Amino acid sequence: MTAATPLSLAAEASSLLSSLGVAPERLSGGTLAARSPITGETLALLPEHTAEQATSLIADAHTAFRAWRSVPAPQRGELIRLFGEDLRAAKADLGRLVSIEAGKILSEGLGEVQEMIDICDFAVGLSRQLYGLTIATERGEHRMMETWHPLGVTGIISAFNFPVAVWAWNAALALVCGNSIVWKPSEKTPLTALATEALFQRSLDRFIAAGGKAPANLSAVLIGGRALGEALVDNPLVPLVSATGSTVMGRAVGPRVAQRFGRSILELGGNNAAIICPTADLDLTLRGVAFAAMGTAGQRCTTLRRLFVHDSVYDTLVPRLIKAYGSVSIGSPLQPSTLIGPLIDQAAFDAMQSSLAAAKAAGGVIHGGDRTEVAEAPNGYYVRPALVEMPAQTGPVEHETFAPILYVMKYSDFEQVLELHNAVPQGLSSSIFTNDLREAELFLSARGSDCGIANVNIGPSGAEIGGAFGGEKETGGGRESGSDSWKAYMRRATNTINYGRSLPLAQGVKFDIE
């Protein structure tokens, strides 16, 4: 590391949090240690909410919802417009805080805040487009239509790897749809949540000062562990829970929400693949694969984890990839030249090493994967990304390991590789690199990728906010962010209006009384 990394990340984090408006009492006197994966040092000891406090905050949010639902949607959009402005002003500070707390390189920390800004822009426009259909009716002098109404308290459970952007995907849409929000961030990244909450309160104060009507307790953040997530999941005043995390987490959340007939948006694991075809532009492919597989130290749900390379180009592409893996810059994410920052903690490192051992036992040839020492950060878990040449899709290849491991396999038959591509439990993101129109269209067809995201000539990692984000199978089936995902945050009513003097019944039913 160089002077680009401060002697005390705790001091810098404290300064950033102060500039973003976080009250000092939120940052001391507690037991939850907020740590930076850059050095392993503790940034703050935060007070935690109890389950009883969570229940009280949810009740307050429900009261706020009952008032907020009556505020016209374009006025709700004005609040989000102001929030977008405040995010723009605070982008540098919040983005750097994301890098410090989550270990992302500087451009990714800033990019995450930009994603928040983008979804605010989307939501502002959406606030004037929450429209339903007018439906043809079989009865004369009748009109049938559908209307959409606010749903209630939206519970948001987010993961460490995108500590603020995924919250924004949900929060911006939920708020313009007329809902209140309660957020349980990962206990590994609580500081960015407190900073975001303070920025939102700043926007809310501006909204009210300008004459906007907004209730107290419109938004709340729960700082703590699993018990607080369970408080959200089990509370009948929370009709919608949007949860991002592991498939194991989703198996616990989904049934519990369903048991009380609540709704859930689940964004779970991804074991994403790319198919490299004979006609692929290999220079483009190299860049696309490198970012998708190594970016964010492999800690994205859309990270590329399986690579199927046609045997005619395998010996050309794979050595180039191995060279890139061996030369990519690893170190403090606060240095502009760094491309690979640290894993989030020791548990992530141990899981990576366990998967590599299993791959080796299954006949894999491993390139990289070892821990990289950074002198000024002996407690940080920095690793060389691993490229593993596998004889077949077996063992650890079929499971998601949240680390920079890319399993590479040869193929010769396109129909067969499509079957292999889809033969894993997860179904989030996918891609194909080809200049063959038939291969590209088949990959995007009903016979092709079974994932929620399917790309051509770009990697599976990363997504724009305009498209709905989510996947199939064990990825959970949820959709967040753009397109028509706003409907998940509202309830639909079908309305029939009789403007005549007769009372015809549907399906020709007769029920005449004297």
Tokens 């089936």 label which residue? 477
Q: Are residues 205 and 303 in the same domain?
A: no
pLDDT in tens, 332-370: 999 999 999 999 999 999 999 999 999 999 999 999 999
The pLDDT of residue 3 is above 60: no
Which of these, 295, 263, 153, lies nearest to 215 by C-alpha position? 153
Task: Work out the pLDDT band at 5, boundaries 50, 70, 90.
Answer: very low
As beta bridge partners, residue 343 has 381
Q: Are residues 247 and 321 in the same domain?
A: no
What per-residue confidence (pLDDT) applies to 375?
83
What would the mean pLDDT of 202-209 be, rounded to a whole number?
98
| Residue 153 DSSP class | P
Q: Are residues 69 and 170 in the same domain?
A: yes
N-terminal to C-terminal alpha carbon distance within the chain:
91
What per-residue confidence (pLDDT) applies to 152?
98
Q: Are residues 409 and 451 in the same domain?
A: yes
The pLDDT of residue 156 is above 80: yes
Distance CA 247, CA 258 (A): 16
pLDDT in tens, 483-497: 999 999 999 999 999
In a domain, 510, yes or no: no
Do 105 and 341 meet the contact criterion of CB atoms below 8 Å apart? yes
pLDDT in tens, 225-235: 999 999 999 99
Name the catalytic one among 267, 400, 439, 474: 267
| Residue 504 DSSP class | P
Q: Are residues 254 and 315 in the same domain?
A: no
Check which CATH number belongs to the domain holding 341 and give it.
3.40.309.10
Distance CA 200, CA 52 (A): 24
What per-residue confidence (pLDDT) applies to 463?
85
What per-residue confidence (pLDDT) applies to 212?
98
Do 42 and 380 meet the contact criterion of CB atoms below 8 Å apart? no
Residues 6+ apart with CB under 8 A from 16: 93, 94, 96, 97, 100, 195
In a domain, 359, yes or no: yes
pTM: 0.96
In a domain, 154, yes or no: yes
pLDDT in tens, 367-413: 999 999 988 889 999 999 999 999 999 999 999 999 999 999 999 99
| Count of structural domains within the chain | 2
List phi, psi (to 5°) of 114.
-60, -35
What are the E-state strand segments in 251-356? 263-267, 272-276, 304-310
The pLDDT of residue 2 is above 50: no
| Residue 371 DSSP class | B
Between the alpha carbon of residue 346 and those of residues 40, 379, 498, the distances in Å are 10, 9, 66
In a domain, 84, yes or no: yes
Structural domain containing residue 387: 272-465
Q: Are residues 421 and 448 in the same domain?
A: yes
Task: Work out the pLDDT band at 478, boundaries 50, 70, 90.
Answer: very high
Distance CA 228, CA 420 (A): 39
Q: Which three-class secondary structure state does DSSP give residue 9?
A: helix
Q: Are residues 203 and 277 in the same domain?
A: no
Q: Are residues 259 and 335 in the same domain?
A: no
Between the alpha carbon of residue 391 and those of residues 34, 51, 395, 399, the distances in Å are 42, 49, 11, 16
| Residue 505 DSSP class | P
In a domain, 363, yes or no: yes
Torsion over CA: 434, 440, 443, 447 (sign): negative
Between the alpha carbon of residue 348 and those of residues 77, 354, 373, 387, 405, the distances in Å are 39, 10, 16, 17, 12
In a domain, 504, yes or no: no
State which amino acid sits at residue 272.
N
In a domain, 161, yes or no: yes
Task: Work out the pLDDT band at 462, boundaries 50, 70, 90.
Answer: confident
What would the mean pLDDT of 9-29 be, rounded to a whole number?
96
Q: Are residues 231 and 278 in the same domain?
A: no
Provide the mean pLDDT of the chain: 96
Q: Are residues 293 and 432 in the same domain?
A: yes
Q: Are residues 236 and 345 in the same domain?
A: no
CA 410 to chain centre: 31
Task: Work out the pLDDT band at 7, boundaries 50, 70, 90.
Answer: low
Q: Are residues 276 and 260 in the same domain?
A: no
Is 267 marked active-site?
A: yes
